[in-house]
Amino acid sequence: MELALTDKEALLLKEILDSDLSKLLMEIANTDIRSMREGLKEREEALRAIAAKLPVAKAA
């Protein structure tokens, strides 16, 4: 699958991913149930992989 984004859209998506990652890290740190924490870590890895595929966009 291919997704074409403008620089502005890519920057917004990166900001959303960064925000979600930040919240997710707090959730991982506060989760005592091992299986749930592992699922959250898998989500973190997936979000980081998506963010790494985004081109470096500069704010306008």
Residue from 15, 49, 13, 42 nearest 27 by CA: 42
Q: Which two tokens stand for residue 17?
A: 């991913």
**Is residue 19 in a domain?**
yes
Expressed in angstroms, the distance from the first to the final Cα of the chain is: 27
Q: Write out the residue range of the structural domain in which residue 25 sits.
A: 7-53
- For the chain, count helices (H), then strands (E): 2, 0
- Reported as a single tens digit per residue, the pLDDT across 40-56 is 999 999 999 999 988 77
49 domain residue, yes or no: yes
Total number of domains constituting the chain:
1
Residues 4-33: tens digit of each pLDDT? 989 899 899 999 999 999 999 999 999 999
* pTM score above 0.85: no
Backbone CA torsion sign across 5, 56, 49, 2: positive
φ, ψ (nearest 5 deg) of residue 59: -65, 145
